[in-house]
Structure 1
Amino acid sequence: MPATPYVTAAEFAAHPTYLALDNLRQDTSDPDAQSAELTNILLMASSWADSECNQPLGAHVATRTQRARCDRDGNLQLFANRFPVLSVAAVSYGSGPGDQADVLDLTGAWTLEQRLVLVPIGGARTPSGPGLYVRWTFVAGRVATLVDDDADQGATALTVTDPTGIQPGEAYRLWEPGLEETVTVADDYEPPTASSAPQPTEIPLAAPTLHAHGAGFSFTGMTSDLRLAVVSYAASLLMRPDSAAEDEYPDNNASSTRSKDSRPTGLGLVKEARRILMSETVVF
C-alpha cells in the first residue's frame, strides 16, 4: 500500500462527486475524524489501482536480477519489470552471480519506450550463451508526493515529503484545490540517492510559483486520468443506496445522488476506473 493516497482527502472533496462526506464515521462528528476516514478509503483506492496494474503506480525504488546481452555498440540491454523507468541508480554485471563489476558511470544510461534501458559498459561484449548476469536498481512509476511545508506566492523552491523520481527540468502538478498549477524543476537540481526511506527534500523551481501553497497537497507526475481512476473507485466505495428501503445501514442518511443513474451500486465507476488504468498502462 502506498504511504499516502494518490489523491488527498481535500482534493477528493473538491472533486464533483456530490457525495456526502461528513458522516463516514457514525461515532463522531469531528471533521478531522471524517477526513481521516476518507484518507483511509483513498489509501484503499490507491492500493487497488496498484493491484490492477500489478505494480506501484507511484515512484518507487526497484531492484531486479536478470540475464542480459549487449548490443553491437556495447550497451547492456536491460528490460524493466516496472515502468515507466525514471532513472537508473546502480548496475552491476558479470559472467556469474559471484563475479560482478559495478558500472561506475551511469550518465550515459538511456531509456527507450519507458522500460527498455541501454547502459554503456565500456565496449564489453556478451559472452556466448544466455548473456551476462545483471543486478540493477532503478526508480519507476510516477512521482506522487506531498508538499511538506507552507510556501509563499512566488516561492522559488518547494519542500516535498518524498523526492523519489523527481527529475531536473521536468514539470509536475500541484493539486491544491483552487490553487492548482504546474511547476517545473530547475535544471540544476541534483536528485538524492534513491532510497526506500526517503527524507523531505527541497526542490528548486525553474520559475516562481503563481500561488501560495499549504502543506499536505499533491506534488505529482500522475496523469489526470490516473487520479480520476482513484477518485472513481473511491466514489464507488462511498456510494449509498437510493432509498431507505434499499439501505443496509438504516442509521445512515440515504443519498439520491445516483437515483437516475443506471449504476446505483457503483459498479459502473469501477468499470470506468479499470478502463482508465488499462489505457494508461498501455501507454506506459
Structure 2
Amino acid sequence: MPTTPYVTAAEFAAHPTYLALDNLRQDNADPDAQTAALTNILLMASAWADSECNQPLGAHVVTRTQRARCDRDGNLQLIANRFPVLWVAAASYGPRPADLANVPDVTAAWIEEQRLALVPVGGARTMSGLGHYVRWTFVAGRVATLVDEDADEAAMAITVADPTGIQPGEAYRLWEPGVEETVTVADDYIPAAAGPAPQPTEIPLAAPTLHAHGEGYSFTGMTSDLRLAIVSYAASLLMRPDTAAEDEYPDNNASSTRSKDSRPTGLGLVKEARRILMSETVVG
C-alpha cells in the first residue's frame, strides 16, 4: 500500500474536476484539515489502482525465487512477476536451493518487453537447457516520489524523498501546479542501491530546471494517463450521490461535495479509471 498518494492534494486541486474541496471535513474549517482529508482520499485512490493492477504502480524492490534455464549464450532467463522491470539488482543461482552462487555483475542484464530479464552468468553451471534454482532482486514499477527540498530556478539537482527506480538519462515530470516541467537525469548518476528503507537523495540533472520548485510535489515517471486514473477514481469518491437509491457506493452518507454538483454519479469515472489502467497494460 502506498504511503504517499501518486497525485498530491495540491495537484488534484489544480486538475479541472470542478469539485468543491473546502468542506470535506464539516467539523473542521482548518484548511490543513481539508488538505489532510483530500490526501486520505487520494491515498485510497492510489491503493485502489494498485489493487486493480495486482501490484504497486510506484517503483519498488522485489525479491523472487523461481526455477529458470540458461539459453545457449549463457543467460539466465528470468520472468518477472511485476511490471515494468527497471533493472536487476542482484541474482544467485545453482543446482539446489542450498547451493546458490552469486552472479558477480548483473549490470549487463538485458530487459526485454519490460518483463523478461536475461542475466549473463557464464561458467560451468550454465549448460544450455539446464534448470537452476534462482533468487533474484529487481526494481519494478514507475518512479513515484516527492521533491524533498526546495530548489531554485536553474537548479542542476533535485532532492527527492525516495530515489527508487530513478535511472540515469531518463526523463521525469515535476508536477508542481503552475510550474510543471520535465527534467532529465544526468548520465553520470549512479542509481541508489535497492533496499527497504530509501533515503532522501540528490538527483543530478542533465540541464537546469526552468522554474524554482517547492518540496512536497510529485517527481514521477508515471504517465499522464496513469495519474488521470488516480484523479478520476478520487473524483468518483467525492461525487457519491445524496441518496441510497442512486448510490453505486452502498451504505454511504450524503456528501456535501456531491450535493452541489449537477453531474451524474461517479460510476463513469470508475469505469474510465479502470479502462486507463487496462490500456496501460499494467494489469498482472
**TM-score, structure 1 normalization:** 0.93
Deviation at 1:7, TM superposition (A): 0.2
Q: In 2 relative to 1, CA 98–178 (structure 1 residues): closer, same or farther, beyond 3 Å?
A: same
Q: Aligned pair 1:177/2:181, yes or no?
A: no
Counterpart mapping for 1:54-203 below 5 A: 54-123=54-123, 124-126=125-127, 131-203=131-203
The separation in 1 between residues aligned to 2:12 and 2:76, in whole angstroms, is 44
Deviation at 1:249, TM superposition (A): 5.0
State the Cα deviation string for residues 92-120 of structure 1 (Å, max 9, x = none). Answer: 00001000000011121010000100000
Q: In 2 relative to 1, CA 251–81 (structure 1 residues): closer, same or farther, beyond 3 Å?
A: closer
Q: Aligned pair 1:252/2:256, yes or no?
A: yes
Q: For residue 268 of structure 1, what is the amino acid of its counterpart?
A: G
Alpha carbons 1:242, 1:256 under 8 Å: kept: no
The separation in 1 between residues aligned to 2:254 and 2:41, in whole angstroms, is 21
Q: What is the root-mean-square deviation of aligned Cα atoms in Å?
A: 2.1
Q: For residue 228 of structure 2, what is the amino acid of its counterpart?
A: L
Q: In 2 relative to 1, CA 96–139 (structure 1 residues): closer, same or farther, beyond 3 Å?
A: same
Partner SS state of residue 63, structure 1: strand
Aligned partner of 2:224 in structure 1 is 224
Deviation at 1:60, TM superposition (A): 0.2
Alpha carbons 2:94, 2:100 under 8 Å: kept: yes
Q: In 2 relative to 1, CA 200–254 (structure 1 residues): closer, same or farther, beyond 3 Å?
A: closer
Q: For residue 65 of structure 2, what is the amino acid of its counterpart?
A: T
Deviation at 1:265, TM superposition (A): 1.9
Q: For residue 116 of structure 1, what is the amino acid of its counterpart?
A: L
State the Cα deviation string for residues 170-224 of structure 1 (Å, max 9, x = none). Answer: 0000000010000000000011111111000000000000000000000000000
Structure 1 gaps, min length 5: none
State the Cα deviation string for residues 114-164 of structure 1 (Å, max 9, x = none). Answer: 0100000014424766x1000000000000000000000000000000000
Aligned partner of 1:215 in structure 2 is 215
Partner SS state of residue 190, structure 1: coil
Q: In 2 relative to 1, CA 37–256 (structure 1 residues): closer, same or farther, beyond 3 Å?
A: closer
Partner SS state of residue 225, structure 2: helix
Q: In 2 relative to 1, CA 195–272 (structure 1 residues): closer, same or farther, beyond 3 Å?
A: same
Q: In 2 relative to 1, CA 226–127 (structure 1 residues): closer, same or farther, beyond 3 Å?
A: same
Structure 2 gaps, min length 5: none
What is the aligned length?
278
